[in-house]
Chain A
Amino acid sequence: MEAMEVDSSSKNGGFLLQRKQSLYTSLDSCFEIKKEEMYRGQQFSQIYYARLYLMRTLLYSLVPNWKPLLPVCTVLGLEEGKECIIVGTLYKHMKLKPSILEEYSKERSAIPLVKPHNFIHPDDYLVLEDESGRVKLRGDVLLPSVYVTGIVVALLGKGSDAGYFWVEDILEAGLPHQVERPIESGEDKYVILVSGLGVGSSSSNPLQFQLLVDHITGHLGDAKEQSIAAKIVQVIIAGNSVEIPCGLLNGQNLSSKDQSRLSEPIKELDILLTQIAAGVPVDIMPGPNDPANFSLPQQPLHRCLFPGASAYNTFKSCHNPHSLKLDDVSLLGTSGQNVDDLEKYSDAKGKLDSMERTLRWRHLAPTAPNTLGCYPFTDRDPFFLESCPHVYFIGNQEKYDTRLIKGEEGQIVRLICIPRFSETGVAVVLNMRNLECHTLSFGTQFG
């Protein structure tokens, strides 16, 4: 990579700040839908099967350490009253889960349906399924509100005559293995994490975004600040960068006025991205509102949307989820859909808890494909976590939040919720040296 310089203004008396650099490795290839994976009419059973296979192999290897003496059964092999271990995919039966069939329900209710933010209900119950069959689960240790459809776990318990499995203990896959790195190493290098730029939306403020860009590129502040800016080695934009006015994309031909209304925000974004890319490497991930496909993994935003920025090789349009390695730090993140969906279908204290759970379940998006859109893969599950990232972030959240979690094998993971920039004016700064985080706030109000 060429050396890049933070613009040196005359104030600094010609003193040149050298921008720091890091070694960038993309790990996105697993999120790419390859040519040979073209859709051929397959359904979702195959991705579930692939997931079960991957996870089961893993769980089987953990069982001897967990409960060394107990037999492992399939759902079909359950015997009444006999204690054993079964491994399978959880399915949560949910009373309130919205169904597409409701569109066809007999009477359109006169009262507008209030959309609850969460669909859990006390009557929900869990079912464990393997390829041989299903069994209803009961027991006090297994809380239906915590789990969601699609997680693979090992359960210890007894079959009952009424067709239930009485659960006594649960084994989750736990955090994957992590490539160790020195706790504090080398020098300060910063990664800027931002999401929800929302260019073109009513809440977005062009000036605010410009301030962010200027800060990153080193056009803002005094020498001290510029010297900090010079330590920014990477910018990651985690989804929802533009907002396209809805109603324009209904398949009809557009008038020339609407054509420009549609492409205007994208042009604006391109201009700002070009400014960043000229100075710092930038990764842009697609989010739920972006002009990208809907189901996960979302494929990169098309380069034709960014004629300006894509001229720079520092500009990378990435997948969502996005996985990369900067020097020896591995980062994994999504634009937020996986955790937002968990929040709708399970109960947790906060987003960080849900994030932590996905790591412990060793699956980035367990609710896909059940309630989260997902490509029907045939022989693999790209959301299965092979190894533990050092940094795990999600975009488009209400507010900034972060936590450091430790795994049993000594894994250390920095969890980050990136707030929506257009609403909060906040970007997150991650120091790669020690995985510490802080925020940058931009305001445009005076006084």
Chain B
Amino acid sequence: MNNKGNSRKRPQPPLPPPQQPQQKHHSSMEDEDVDEDVFLEETLLLQHEEDTQAFRDAEERQAPRLQKWKRPPLCQHYLSQSQSIIFQQLDIDYVIGDGHKDLLPNSSGPAAILRIFGVTKEGHSVCCHVHGFEPYFYISCPPGMGPDDISHFHQILEGRMREVNRSSKVPKFVRRIELVQRRSIMYYQQQKDQPFLKIVVALPTMITSCRGILDRGIHIDGLGMKSFMTYESNVLFALRFMIDCDIVGGNWIEVPVGKYKKTAKNLSYCQLEFECLYTDMISHVPEGEFSKMAPFRILSFDIECSGRKGLFPEPTHDPVIQVANLVTLQGEDHPFVRNVMTLKSCSPIVGVDVMPFDTEKDVLLAWRDFIHEADPDIIIGYNICKFDLPYLIQRAEVLGIAEFSILGRIRNSRVRVKDTTFSSRQYGTRESKEVTVEGRVQFDLLQVMQRDYKLSSYSLNSVSAHFLNEQKEDVHHSIISDLQNGNSETRRRLAVYCLKDAYLPQRLLDKLMLIYNYVEMARVTGVPISFLLSRGQSIKVLSQLLRKAKQKNLVIPNVKQAGSEQGTYEGATVLEASAGFFEKPIATLDFASLYPSIMMAYNLCYCTLVTPEDMHRLNLPPEWVNKTPSGETFVKSNLQKGILPEILEELLAARKRAKADLKEAKDPLVKAVLDGRQLALKISANSVYGFTGATVGQLPCLEISSSVTSYGRQMIEHTKKLVEDKFTVLAGYEHNAEVIYGDTDSVMVQFGVPTVDEAMNLGREAADYISGTFIKPIKLEFEKVYYPYLLISKKRYAGLLWTNPNKFDKMDAKGIETVRRDNCLLVKNLVTECLHKILIDRDVPGAVQYVKNTIADLLMNRVDLSLLVITKGLTKTGDDYEVKAAHVELAERMRKRDAATAPNVGDRVPYVIVKAAKGAKAYERSEDPIYVLDNNIPIDPHYYLENQISKPLLRIFEPILKNASKELLQGSHTRSISISTPSNSGIMKFAKKQPTCIGCKALISNSEYTLCSHCKGREAELYCKSVANVSELEKLFGRLWTQCQECQGSLHQDVLCTSRDCPIFYRRKKAQKDMVEAKLQLDRWNL
């Protein structure tokens, strides 16, 4: 597919429900995770025969290839079951089936069976069915309830459950109710434990319905109508299992010899399939040998569809024409399988197995067969979750290939597709599709990019350019059909392109160490790997909280969704910025992990919070509590150690260890693991605070989060005061120190000394001195010096960063238009260059001159058009926008011109602002850059001057220059204006072209001459100018087009790429056009 991530991979409108079960699931909150029971249908088991039938032809079709695709064969020890099975688990889910008669003789009726999928270190695939683990939750036991009351309560609850779940054939809904001693995590309590009821139900989904009944209230004899607060009733079953068995995401699990039984009938395609009891499993802590990664198989794939002209491909109409696949073993550099399945013949590609098929059905089935044989553990790609996978499945439905969607590892089980909405404070709302492929983890690189990186564009092209320094050829979708309808050579071209799209995600995965980082994140936070991409931050903290709470015998209440009603609290403080250009070194004092440290230092936690009522009741002596600046009370750790501080301490200690190990480590793979771990630990530590403040989260506690920020503010103020009081001339220092700015966790100090070295010494002294006044582990660190430093306003500054006195490290700019995405490139270049001149070259006049030259170039129409292109994403059609927007209007106009190449919803629309009639609105003046080039349409330099470059420039220069606006934006350099003449306007049709003198533009009557009589004698000079112009163009032309050949990877074929994300796309087009004109100009000399 081309246009990865921008145009063509938007979610398809869901089809009318076909015969396949397609569940719709809309969860508006990220935390509303609900288990969904999947029943292991009897029919599936019976279909075994048919199943082999379906795959029989596969053996014939793919015979020579199977050898290469297959996993290594099992050795004798595994076959004879005389060896413990140790494997790295990657995915855990559960199904409802009958309990295992041998392992659980007492079981009756359907029960949840957990399935763990993983890989052994030899590379065998594993499916482990775990029996005996039951879903449960807690409620607090009403006072005075005895064993008899409990059994009575059990009966009532069972009755209510039966009413609610009439259709269910479960013999017993509430398996049992146990009286246990637990304590709620909320609020400081003096007594140790209280009675709780642990309610064990038959199936995981019943937790939700049971919770509903208890929430609403239940009539109990003697107590009347009573509703109950439930505890830990919102924990997904698989996560519950992992927590109770101490399994963390991606760790190694051992099932000892004799404790497992081979399944009677293989339900999955895994090599090792067996059953065991959950109590017999050994979960290994990811350390030493068990911190390694199994050689799991990673499939990277991409599909191409042939669209109709002007329309985005839809599975109802447009065939899948190619599927490219690469399979790589984790830890290896090169893929061991490279193939592409094509519709119709395709010329061979070196090193790639080209598999042409006559029908689309064969292509799809070949891919399914391939998935079975290659048996990937992880499926990656770019936008596969929203586009490729759903498209393939829907297309198979349209074609009526029922057997296609058996892609998972479970025999005869079809892939399930559902629409989900993912919404999170941090990531915003995103619609997506969830395709469940049992036993295979999906890892969509687009989702990773959107989550982890702020980029101006998320197309595969620009992401690869950013991280891999590699441009990819971008073929416009209108060409794809042409290539497909050509011959085997043109289809080969397409296949090469498709393969590249499959290869780039793998490269990104390797380059960014994503497997290591994500597996380590799963290990640190204890959630399955698949959760990391499909869910928000809070599940990770919740998982850690639940694990810790379990150790401490605490239970976590399922707090009702409070929504945003709880109100907000005051955020971090920002000290007033004294804007200006500082030419003396500015020392920066940073609080290291400020928020985690505050929580640790002041023992802030759910279980240390004292309510105002309790404050009176308990009558705690003031020296045993901390009163926070926001007015809350928390007990000190000698009375009750908080859980959150404990989690944080462990995380930070683990990070310290990981960093120390990282220094020692030699093996690059071990290093990758450790680096991923320390990063995961850091992120996790920082997300704990956010968890307490997430008002729509799992367990919001604004008392904690507002206390944290209030302490933070206090510390910043305190630091400012101490610095300014201590470092004074009166106290014997050379200068009075001045705090010029302070942000969330840092304070910028001007000590007044002239050298970086001195500033560093004073910075260190100040950090040590002030750290001493704080409670441990809060620590102020001195890290860097800015010199010089341009402070524009809050959160906007730039400076040269020094960490050693000899040489600066880099230029650091925050909140300045060097990175903003909605500006044209000219702004970015201009700002960067100016900062460079001001800060590094210390050449303010030079920067001013540079600005003037740029403005003059802009007005004289000498600026490269690609620098003026503004790009915005088209998210909906014109009618849906309330306000008219430039890019929407343009898309509309382009559709009228040519529907085939006009941008669609989901595309990014590049445009420039052109000159138009006076009073025309900006949105009417947007134009397609290609159209502008082709028709010589004049751009509107004043729009760019006023709306794009003036503000960012003034921001930079105002602290430096007096009358910056007058100096920069007015003056002689703005007087000369040149505007190109449009070739398409009405009036030009009547204009007659007359030759002009090349020297002075005077009309020449006789077209035989190049110069007018006045300019005769200046031939040499004027010729030099003409030819210099041609020479420049030729130079540029060569560099641009050979670069495109390079990206395309072929010398003998024309470049087809139309990637508008590519920075040289417009320049290349323009160079082509200019070449023609410059040559014509030069030819006039040969008259």
A→B interface (CB under 8 Å): 38-41, 43-45, 48-49, 52, 75-78, 89, 91, 99-101, 103-108, 110, 129-136, 149-150, 159, 161-165, 244, 249, 251, 254, 259, 262-263, 266-267, 291-295, 302, 304-305, 307, 369-376
Contacts of A374 in B (CB 8 A): 1038
Our pick among A129, A130, A294 for the contact of B1032 (Cβ within 8 Å) is A294
Our pick among B832, B1032, B1050 for the contact of A108 (Cβ within 8 Å) is B832
Our pick among A78, A133, A259 for the contact of B1018 (Cβ within 8 Å) is A259
Q: Could you list 30 examples of A-B contacts with CB < 8 Å?
A: A38-B1079, A39-B1076, A41-B1076, A45-B1053, A75-B350, A78-B350, A89-B1052, A99-B1043, A101-B471, A101-B1043, A101-B1064, A104-B825, A104-B1064, A129-B1051, A133-B348, A133-B349, A135-B351, A161-B351, A163-B350, A163-B351, A165-B350, A251-B1025, A259-B1018, A291-B1023, A291-B1028, A292-B1031, A293-B1027, A295-B1035, A302-B1027, A304-B1085
**Among B810, B1042, B1049, residue most surrounded by chain A Cβ atoms (within 10 Å):** B1042
Q: Indicate with 1 or 0, residue by residue over B1001-1021, a CB within 8 angstroms of chain A CB atoms.
A: 000000000000000001111
Contacts of A371 in B (CB 8 A): 1042
**Ordered nearest first, which 4 A-B pairs have the shortest CB separation?**
A163-B351, A249-B1028, A294-B1031, A304-B1019
Contacts of A259 in B (CB 8 A): 1018, 1021
The tally of residues in B whose CB lies under 8 Å from a CB in A reads 62
In the complex with contacts A45-B1051, A101-B465, A134-B1050, A369-B1038 CB distance below 8 A: yes
Contacts of A101 in B (CB 8 A): 465, 469, 471, 1043, 1063-1064
Judge whether A295 and B1034 touch: CB under 8 Å.
yes
Contacts of A75 in B (CB 8 A): 350
Judge whether A373 and B1038 touch: CB under 8 Å.
yes
Q: Indicate with 1 or 0, residue by residue over B810-827, a CB within 8 angstroms of chain A CB atoms.
A: 110000000000000100
Contacts of A39 in B (CB 8 A): 1075-1076, 1079
Judge whether B1034 and A302 touch: CB under 8 Å.
no
Q: How far is the CB of A271 from chain B (nearest CB, A)?
A: 13
Contacts of B808 in A (CB 8 A): 110
* Residue B1055 lies at the interface, judged by CB distance under 8 Å to chain A: yes
In the complex with contacts A101-B1043, A293-B1034, A373-B1038, A266-B1051 CB distance below 8 A: no
Judge whether A104 and B1020 touch: CB under 8 Å.
no
Give the CA-CA distance A302 to B1046 in the complex, in Å.
35
* Residue B753 lies at the interface, judged by CB distance under 8 Å to chain A: no
Give the CA-CA distance A292 to B1032 in the complex, in Å.
11
Judge whether B1031 and A293 touch: CB under 8 Å.
yes
Contacts of B1027 in A (CB 8 A): 291-293, 302
* Residue B1045 lies at the interface, judged by CB distance under 8 Å to chain A: yes
Contacts of B348 in A (CB 8 A): 76-77, 133
* Residue B1024 lies at the interface, judged by CB distance under 8 Å to chain A: yes
Our pick among A45, A133, A149, A263 for the contact of B350 (Cβ within 8 Å) is A133
Q: A104-B1064, A263-B1020, A302-B1023 are in contact. List 9 more A-B contacts (CB 8 A).
A: A45-B1055, A136-B350, A163-B352, A251-B1029, A259-B1018, A295-B1037, A302-B1085, A304-B1023, A304-B1085
Give the CA-CA distance A408 to B862 in the complex, in Å.
55
Judge whether A267 and B1072 touch: CB under 8 Å.
no
Judge whether A369 and B1042 touch: CB under 8 Å.
yes
Contacts of A249 in B (CB 8 A): 1024-1025, 1028-1029
Contacts of A302 in B (CB 8 A): 1023, 1027, 1085
* Residue B10 lies at the interface, judged by CB distance under 8 Å to chain A: no
* Residue B262 lies at the interface, judged by CB distance under 8 Å to chain A: no
Our pick among A43, A91, A103, A244 for the contact of B1024 (Cβ within 8 Å) is A244
Give the CA-CA distance A169 to B308 in the complex, in Å.
49
Judge whether B1041 and A134 touch: CB under 8 Å.
no
Contacts of A135 in B (CB 8 A): 350-351
Give the CA-CA distance A49 to B1050 in the complex, in Å.
11
Judge whether B350 and A110 touch: CB under 8 Å.
no
Judge whether A44 and B1045 touch: CB under 8 Å.
yes
Contacts of A136 in B (CB 8 A): 350-351
Give the CA-CA distance A41 to B1027 in the complex, in Å.
20
* Residue B466 lies at the interface, judged by CB distance under 8 Å to chain A: yes
Q: How far is the CB of A109 from chain B (nearest CB, A)?
A: 9
Q: How far is the CB of B231 from chain A (nearest CB, A)?
A: 49
Contacts of A132 in B (CB 8 A): 347, 489
Contacts of A38 in B (CB 8 A): 1076, 1079
Q: Which residue of A lies closest to B1053 (CB)?
A: A45
8 Å CB contacts to A: which residues of B7-35?
Answer: none
Contacts of A159 in B (CB 8 A): 350
Q: How far is the CB of B780 from chain A (nearest CB, A)?
A: 29
Give the CA-CA distance A259 to B1017 in the complex, in Å.
11
Q: How far is the CB of B739 from chain A (nearest CB, A)?
A: 28
Q: How far is the CB of B463 from chain A (nearest CB, A)?
A: 13
Our pick among B469, B1018, B1051, B1085 for the contact of A44 (Cβ within 8 Å) is B1051
Our pick among A104, A162, A254, A375 for the contact of B1021 (Cβ within 8 Å) is A254
Give the CA-CA distance A254 to B1020 in the complex, in Å.
13
* Residue B1040 lies at the interface, judged by CB distance under 8 Å to chain A: yes
Q: How far is the CB of A208 from chain B (nearest CB, A)?
A: 23
Give the CA-CA distance A244 to B1027 in the complex, in Å.
12
Give the CA-CA distance A249 to B352 in the complex, in Å.
51
Contacts of A370 in B (CB 8 A): 1042, 1045, 1051
**Among B471, B1024, B1046, B1050, residue most surrounded by chain A Cβ atoms (within 10 Å):** B1024
Judge whether A48 and B1038 touch: CB under 8 Å.
no
Give the CA-CA distance A110 to B799 in the complex, in Å.
13
Judge whether A304 and B1052 touch: CB under 8 Å.
no
Give the CA-CA distance A149 to B1046 in the complex, in Å.
11
Judge whether B810 and A110 touch: CB under 8 Å.
yes
Our pick among B840, B1053, B1063 for the contact of A131 (Cβ within 8 Å) is B1053
* Residue B723 lies at the interface, judged by CB distance under 8 Å to chain A: no
Q: Which residue of B lies closest to A99 (CB)?
A: B1043
Give the CA-CA distance A103 to B465 in the complex, in Å.
13
8 Å CB contacts to A: which residues of B317-353?
Answer: 334, 338, 347-352
Contacts of B465 in A (CB 8 A): 101
* Residue B1054 lies at the interface, judged by CB distance under 8 Å to chain A: yes
**Among B465, B1035, B1051, residue most surrounded by chain A Cβ atoms (within 10 Å):** B1051
* Residue B721 lies at the interface, judged by CB distance under 8 Å to chain A: no
**Among B1021, B1028, B1041, B1050, residue most surrounded by chain A Cβ atoms (within 10 Å):** B1021
Contacts of B810 in A (CB 8 A): 107, 110
Contacts of B1076 in A (CB 8 A): 38-41
Q: Which residue of A lies closest to B348 (CB)?
A: A76
